[in-house]
Amino acid sequence: MYQDHLSEATRFLNEAEMKLQEIMLNLMMTGELSDWNLSSPIDEVIKVDNSLFEASEDANVQILLNLCSQIRVVSKNLSKNQ
């Protein structure tokens, strides 16, 4: 039962991180990347990874990126205890 709760916490943290990444991308697409977003063809692909977020000048994206880093640390530490 205890291990189940640890696993659930880890899953929740991973899902939360993915949701935060989605929010960061949406912030960038409506903020600093809005010109690109409006002018690029629909089928154009952009590589989305931490380097995109790290390069962002948006303070809110940076705050959320920092939170994602903290979530990864906590998730990793919980995984060690499973």
Domain boundaries, position 58: 2-80
Q: Are the C-beta atoms of residues 46 and 80 closer than 8 Å to each other?
A: no
pLDDT at position 40: 85
pTM, 2 dp = 0.87
Question: pLDDT in tens for each of the 82 residues of the chain?
Answer: 999 999 999 999 999 999 999 999 999 999 999 998 888 888 888 888 899 999 999 999 999 999 999 999 999 999 887 7
Which residues contact residue 9 at a Cβ distance below 8 angstroms, ignoring those fewer than 6 apart? 78
CA-to-CA distance for 24 and 49, rounded, in angstroms? Answer: 11
- CA 51 – CA 56 distance, rounded (Å): 9
What is the spatial distance between Cα 3 and Cα 9, in angstroms, rounded to a whole number?
10
In the chain, the number of structural domains is 1
